[in-house]
Structure formats: C-alpha cells, structure tokens
Copies of this chain bind each other. A is one copy, B any other.
C-alpha cells in the first residue's frame, strides 16, 4: 500500500512550514489541506482533539501532532539521504535544544510584534537580543530554522530593525537556507505576509 500522507496547516504558520520543509527534504508526496482556524474542520478536531491546533500530519489515517515531533517522526519514518537530525546523540540533543529555543523564543516574540498592539517596540528589542544569541551560537548547527529566518524581511519591516547589520552570520545562513528548494517552496511570498500583517495591524 502506498503511503497516504496529509498535512493540515495554515499558509502563514511557521510550524506548518517546518513540517512541509521536512516532508519535501524527504521527497515524501503529501496532500496539503489549508485549514480555517476560525471554523475548524471536523478532520482537524478529530485528528487533534487535545490541542485542536495545526499543523497535523496524518500518515495512513493516524495523526502526529506538534511540529518538532512531526519532524522527528518524518526523519525516522523515511530514513534516507537527507537526514534531518544528526545521528550522534549529543548533536541530536543540541539540534532539538535550538529548535525548541526557536519555538519558545523567536516565534513567540516575533508574533508579539504584530499580534499585540503596543508591544512592537519592546518585542523588537527582545527579538534582536534573541537573534544575537543565535548569531553567537551559529556554527554548523541544525536548527530547522530556515522557515523562521526566511521571515527576516518581515521582522525588519514590522519590528523596525536591521537584522542584516546586527547578525551577518545568521543572515548569510538564512540566505543559504532559502536557496534550498524545500525551504523556498514552503515559505509564502513575503508580499502576501506583509499584506496579511498590515491588515491585522491596521497600518499601510
């Protein structure tokens, strides 16, 4: 039986993008189903009854929830040339640590820039500190960060910051990520994101 793989997500979700990148890196064929979070589908509610959140990966009818868990699941289920996580236990642990750091810090802080009115300035400052931490740490580490760093242009615009001048190593790494087909494919056009955020903020 051929594998049936379905991904439930929302186009703007960085967590969903990470899973899409993982699937594409592994050359797994999957059906993408865009979800409406204001009107959740019965499939989403059935497949993630606990958190009712995207992304949900459905493999042969069985759900896998939480983006980092999905990436590990994909790596283990389709072992192949494009290994996503390092095989050395210590390096694996470090990769997971930084992926978790990005989830807890970068994504949460970045969202505050456009989701919480009045917090833009404070959140931008915090985000820059967090990015500088990554700038210092960046070596040949595995972050699953490509999708996050593809948003640099958006952070710059809405957070009124210049990541390129403050974090040149991270910027260069983000550019290398964007050259990968899987990353470029998963990221929405920045124009679409800009319009979306502008509408939420009610600014031009």
Judged by a CB distance under 8 angstroms, whether A189 is at the interface is no
Indicate whether A73 sits within 8 Å of B92 (C-beta atoms), given known contacts A66-B100, A97-B66: yes
**Docked-complex contact B50 and A73, CB < 8 angstroms:** no
**Docked-complex contact B93 and A64, CB < 8 angstroms:** yes
> Closest B-chain residue to A101, C-beta based?
B50
Judged by a CB distance under 8 angstroms, whether A160 is at the interface is no
**Docked-complex contact B77 and A89, CB < 8 angstroms:** yes
What is the CB-to-nearest-CB distance from A138 to chain B, in angstroms, rounded to a whole number?
13
Q: How far is the CA of A57 from the CA of B127 in the complex (A)?
A: 28
Could you say which residues of chain B place their CB within 8 Å of the CB of A76? 89, 92
Judged by a CB distance under 8 angstroms, whether A65 is at the interface is yes
The answer, among B50, B73, B89, B90, for a CB contact under 8 Å with A93, is B73
Judged by a CB distance under 8 angstroms, whether A69 is at the interface is yes
What are 23 sample pairs from A and B whose C-beta atoms fall under 8 A apart? A50-B101, A50-B133, A59-B90, A64-B90, A64-B93, A65-B97, A66-B96, A66-B100, A69-B93, A69-B96, A69-B97, A69-B100, A70-B93, A72-B92, A72-B96, A73-B89, A73-B90, A73-B92, A73-B93, A76-B89, A76-B92, A77-B89, A77-B90
